Amino acid sequence: MSDIDSDPRPARRLSSLGLLLPFLTPYRKLVAGWLGFLVVSSAATLVLPLAVRYMIDHGFAQSDAGTINRYFLALFGVAVVLALATALRFFFVTLLGEKVVADLRQRLYSHLLELDIGFYESTRVGELTSRLGSDTELVQTVVGSSLSIALRSVVMVIGGAAALVLTSPHLAAMTALVIPLVILPIVLFGRRVRGLSKQNQDRIADASAVANETLNAMHAVQAYARESVEAARYNTAIARALATARARIGARAWLTAMVILLIFGAITLVLWLGAKSVIAGDLQSGVLSQFVLYAVISASSVGALTEVWGEVQRAAGALERIGELLGVKSSIASPAQPVILATPLRGEIRFEHVEFAYPARPELPALHDFNLTIQPGETVALVGPSGAGKSTVFSLLLRFYDAQSGNLSIDGAELRTLDLHELRRSIAMVPQDTVIFGASAADNIRFGRVDASDEQVIAAARAAEAHEFISAQPEGYATYLGERGVRLSGGQQQRIAIARAILKDSPILLLDEATSALDAQSEAAIQSALERLMHGRTTVVIAHRLATVLKADRIVVLDHGRIVASGTHAELLREGGLYAELARLQFAA
């Protein structure tokens, strides 16, 4: 995303504003109200110079107080209409902007949640939060303000130009002659502003990514005393963003000065010619006043359009990046006609000649000609050195990735034929790196099943040996656990994760060294709970400590993505080989 062309064609950039149309459609009444009152306020503005003309030519010329009073009253009436229409236009367009951007954020966030794990391996989360934050803020500003100003300015420029022609064709023709000399430099300089705006947004996204990465790893940052280093890294990113912002601001300042100088210089020239016509008796003073006001309205509208055009361009660029995100298709998706798993699920798992390499490392096979059958209710432990392929087995079972070849099925149904949500609902997992959300203890456990009652949550916590430490908290199960579980020890976090899996009550259980962070006393207690949980369920255990898998029905030894041995603990010890070597190293220690 960050390598988007830094100077896309303006037509392509503006076309990205079309992404807003589906979000505007549900709010037709707000759009109609906005456009209706925009027309009324623009019409009221264009009527003002006409009222001034008649006031000068008929009121002042006749020296009639009654006539002057009528024209001033009419002028005030126009001002009232203009004020009310402007206020209502502001209300409708601002509310429209809030609603549209809220829908856009919800759509983008929901889309991001559906993308596959491979996408997140190649994309920085900080950049995604920047798209959800700063890019959508730009869109909100434009929809709620800048776009309305731009559209109103266009209407006023067109209406003002028509009024100039009707008021004095001769002066309007003189004005038309100087317009190209005014517009051309503005267009050419505006391209530089657009490019700098895009660069500025990208540098802001880079800074957000650095901050997100660092703040999510504060334990490591402080443990390695890298506060000053990380601060310097963020300061460098901010300095780059500030440098591009300074260049953008400077360019826009020069553009604004150029617009004012060229436009009002042209107006001054035309008015000088008009004043000479008044002196010569070829033009009425009221007509000249009307022409002057229309010229000022048109010029100020061009200036306003130029002022907000940069914002519109920035928002169009933001929408282009958002559109690219929304256009990303997940490589892992449910089929159009998914196979329905039988109920109750038996839990037979079968890998047949599976070949798999991670997308980021296609030259390094993670599993090679992998064959494994796990019977319903069987507990199988996967052991082997780091990088042997144990976690890959879990990733493929959860269909975070699809194998390049071979077949992977549950109860005879190939995983690609199943609905993703149904597949994942049938599997409970306790990862080695526990994920704790910034919510209450009850909500963290209920993450496994959102419709669970309080009694079921407490029962799951008791089974996971988590009830005691949760009850000891000041607010019990309502206690806020802190972002990423910072208020809990590692063992407590893992017990929350185990309670979550117990509550989910799925027929297939995946345990990634589920007791790795527990002390000996807690491990003994939780081991019996896990044994009760595993009873009658198909369970796959990744074990780094061989002591935790001695009671497994079968131990499968992996090395370099292949199964090199399989059997019980006693059988594998008798065979020797890799397992016997691992056992000797661990039990000797």
Determine the Cα–Cα distance for residues 268 and 274; give it in Å rounded to an integer. 10
Query: What is the structure's pLDDT at 14?
Result: 61
User: Where does CATH 3.40.50.300 sit in the chain?
Assistant: 349-426+506-588
Collapse the DSSP code of 291 into the 3-class scheme (helix H, G, I; strand E, B; otherwise coil) and give the result.
helix
For residue 362, whether the previous peptide bond is cis, meaning omega lies within 30 degrees of 0, is no
d(C-alpha 125, C-alpha 428), whole Å: 25
What pLDDT score does 12 carry?
47
Contact present, 85 and 41 (Cβ < 8 Å): yes
DSSP line for 217-271: THHHHHHTT-HHHHHHHHHHHHHHHHHHHHHHHHHHHHHHHHHHHHHHHHHHHHH
Nearest to 381 by CA among 219, 228, 565: 565
Residue 233 CA to residue 235 CA, distance in Å, equals: 5
| CA distances to 14, 32, 169, 296, 447 from 249, in Å | 21, 35, 39, 26, 47
Burial, 206: exposed, middle or buried (Cβ in 10 Å; 0-12, 13-18, 19+)?
Answer: buried
pLDDT at 375: 92
Structural contact between residues 438 and 480, judged by C-beta atoms closer than 8 angstroms = yes
Q: CB of 355 within 8 A of CB of 562?
A: no
Fold of the domain built from segment(s) 10-327:
ABC transporter transmembrane region fold (1.20.1560)
Collapsed DSSP state (helix, strand, coil) of residue 176: helix
State the Cα–Cα distance between residues 284 and 278, nearest whole angstrom. Answer: 6
Structure confidence by residue, pLDDT tens digits, 198-224: 677 778 778 877 887 787 677 677 766
CA gap 117, 332 in Å, rounded: 9
**CATH 1.20.1560.10 domain span(s) along the chain:** 10-327
**Amino acid found at 484:** R
- 3-state SS, 482-504, equals CHHHCCCCHHHHHHHHHHHHHHH
Low-confidence ranges of the chain (pLDDT < 70): 1-14, 54-65, 67, 178-195, 198, 216, 219, 223-224, 285, 303, 306-307, 310, 514-526, 528-529, 532, 545-548, 586-589
> What is the C-alpha to C-alpha distance for residues 331 and 348, in angstroms, rounded to an integer?
26
- Asked if 301 contacts 153 with a C-beta cutoff of 8 angstroms, the reply is yes
Q: State how far the alpha carbon of 355 is from the alpha carbons of 45, 349, 377, 408, 412, in Å.
A: 71, 16, 26, 10, 19
pLDDT digits (tens, 9 = 90+) for 344-371: 888 899 999 999 998 878 888 899 999 9
**CATH pick for 349-426+506-588 out of 3.40.980.10, 1.10.150.570, 3.40.50.150, 3.40.50.300:** 3.40.50.300
pLDDT tens digits, 440-461: 888 888 887 888 888 999 998 8
| DSSP per-residue codes, 24-82 | HGGGHHHHHHHHHHHHHHHHHHHHHHHHHHHIIIIIIHHT-HHHHHHHHHHHHHHHHHH
Cβ(319)–Cβ(302) below 8 Å: no
In three-state secondary structure terms, 345 is coil
Distances in Å between the Cα of 154 and the Cα atoms of 122, 288, 422 are: 43, 23, 53
